């Protein structure tokens, strides 16, 4: 109903403009209304025939030749019908016409032809434009659905990957500190509770994500007795939200590939700061290049591949990720423009 009302209002405004602008040369007011009604009715008829039937037929068949032929025939047919109607009106004097100019029947035929052509062309361009908008809207919906499906799949991959690493950490602690393992098990339960319940939202308060990251960091740090790990988290972030599980894969990667040298220091440094709404994340770990090269590529980088894909899907151009290997150390710098709560 709303669409019909909009169409009606458009054609009323179009008629008023046509009456004043196009038929300005007709001095008699009644004659001007008469000509405007004929002109606009012809345009409306041609427009909707093309809009509702001719172009949809073209879109189904994808035949440009059929579209051109149908448009030409429709233009000639409507121009002929309206010329005949006007001829009858003039011949029988059904409408008192007062011309201030010379106009032959042939001129009238050409005039109807141009008017009909205008309606046909308007119908073609309007329908093609609407169809393009509809296709774009449907593609946007499909793209969003695809992105949501990909995000669900990627987040589902994180859970078993994290659980596998965490259980390995707990298993290592059981060998040398059974009592401490109880506390670790409680921490692990808290982490899994976060994953199962709180981490399912599209965005969460970043304070919860940072608490999760800090618990994970402490859990992993237990089994790395030959490594010095440092975590620094800045302030002024209570009002921000973030997509869950974006930072953990970098921390996982740091603990997984940190070097295990006997004669030199093994380091992990993680620093998180906030400047206005921007998160600035930095992670560095020393690593053994030779050991990394011997690792099966099929079992490396699952978490990092996931997080890169998720960053692209969620934040688009609102993030910047840089990875660098320098002097036996792997550096990751990530900035994300976060949303306020």
Q: Is the pTM of this model over 0.85?
A: no
What angle separates helix 105-176 from helix 248-257, to the nearest 10 degrees? 40
The answer to whether residue 58 scores a pLDDT higher than 70 is yes
- Strands of 329-337's sheet, edge to edge? 228-233, 267-275, 278-286, 329-337, 319-326
Question: Exposed/middle/buried for 318, CB within 10 Å: 0-12, 13-18, 19+?
Answer: middle
What band does 102 get if pLDDT is binned at 50, 70 and 90?
low
What band does 333 get if pLDDT is binned at 50, 70 and 90?
very high
- Count CB neighbours of 250 within 10 A: 22
The pLDDT tens digits for 2-35 are 888 888 898 999 888 888 887 766 676 777 788 8
Q: Sign of dihedral through CA atoms 87, 88, 92, 93?
A: negative
The pLDDT tens digits for 208-264 are 889 888 888 887 787 677 889 999 999 877 789 998 888 888 988 888 888 888 888
CB-based contact 280:274 (threshold 8 Å)? yes
Does the domain at residues 177-340 carry the CATH identifier 3.30.565.10?
yes
Predicted pLDDT at 298: 47
Predicted pLDDT at 138: 82
Q: Mean pLDDT, to the nearest integer, of 159-174?
A: 68
- Tell me the sheet residues that pair with 78: none
Predicted pLDDT at 197: 77
Predicted pLDDT at 97: 59
Taking the C-alpha atoms of residue 146 and residue 162, their distance in angstroms, rounded to an integer, is 25
Which token pair is 294?
Answer: 């011997």
Task: Identify which of 131-145, 152-166, 179-193, 247-261 has the greatest average pLDDT.
Answer: 247-261
Residue pointed to by tokens 């790395």: 224
Taking the C-alpha atoms of residue 312 and residue 309, their distance in angstroms, rounded to an integer, is 5
Spell out the domain ranges in the chain.
2-139, 177-340
C-alpha dihedral over 23, 27, 31, 37, to 10 degrees? 20
Higher-pLDDT residue of 264, 170 = 264
Q: Mean pLDDT, to the nearest integer, of 310-324?
A: 87
Q: What percent of the chain has pLDDT over 90?
A: 20
Q: Mean pLDDT, to the nearest integer, of 265-288?
A: 92
The DSSP H or E segment spanning 287 is none
Choice among 63-67, 71-75, 191-195 with the minimum mean pLDDT: 191-195
Task: Identify which of 98-107, 219-228, 325-334 has the greatest average pLDDT.
Answer: 325-334
Taking the C-alpha atoms of residue 185 and residue 21, their distance in angstroms, rounded to an integer, is 82
The answer to whether residue 299 scores a pLDDT higher than 50 is no
The answer to whether residue 140 scores a pLDDT higher than 80 is no
In the predicted model, what is the mean pLDDT of the chain? 80
Taking the C-alpha atoms of residue 290 and residue 15, their distance in angstroms, rounded to an integer, is 80
Higher-pLDDT residue of 114, 88 = 114
Residue pointed to by tokens 């690593």: 287
């Amino acid at each position: 109903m709303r669409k019909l009302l909009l169409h009606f209002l458009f054609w009323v405004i179009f008629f008023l403009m046509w009456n004043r602008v196009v038929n300005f040369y007709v001095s008699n007011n009644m004659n001007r209304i008469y000509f405007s009604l004929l002109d606009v009715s012809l345009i409306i008829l041609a427009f909707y025939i093309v809009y509702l039937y001719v172009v949809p037929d073209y879109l189904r068949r994808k035949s440009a030749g059929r579209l051109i032929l149908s448009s030409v025939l429709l233009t000639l047919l409507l121009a002929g019908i309206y010329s005949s109607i006007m001829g009858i009106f003039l011949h029988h004097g059904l409408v008192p016409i007062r011309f201030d100019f010379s106009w032959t029947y042939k001129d009238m035929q050409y005039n109807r032809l141009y008017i009909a052509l205008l309606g046909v062309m308007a119908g073609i361009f309007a329908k093609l434009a609407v169809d393009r908008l509809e296709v774009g809207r449907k593609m946007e919906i499909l793209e969003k659905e695809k992105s949501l499906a990909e995000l669900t799949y990627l987040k589902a991959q994180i859970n078993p990957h994290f659980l596998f690493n965490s259980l390995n950490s707990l298993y290592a602690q059981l060998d040398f500190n059974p009592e401490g393992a109880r506390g670790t098990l409680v921490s692990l339960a808290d982490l899994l509770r976060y994953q199962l319940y709180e981490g399912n939202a599209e965005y969460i308060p970043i304070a919860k994500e940072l608490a999760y990251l800090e618990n994970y960091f402490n859990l992993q740090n237990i089994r790395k007795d030959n490594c010095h790990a440092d975590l620094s988290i800045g302030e002024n972030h209570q009002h921000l939200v973030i997509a869950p599980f974006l930072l953990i894969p970098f921390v996982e990667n740091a603990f997984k590939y940190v070097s295990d040298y006997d004669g030199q220091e093994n380091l992990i440094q993680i620093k998180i700061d906030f400047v206005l709404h921007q998160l600035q994340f930095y992670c560095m770990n020393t690593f053994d290049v030779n050991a990394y090269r011997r690792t099966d590529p099929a079992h490396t980088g699952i978490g990092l591949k996931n997080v890169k894909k998720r960053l692209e899907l969620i934040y688009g151009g609102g993030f910047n990720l840089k990875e660098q290997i320098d002097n036996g150390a792997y550096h990751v710098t990530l900035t994300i423009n976060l949303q306020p709560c």
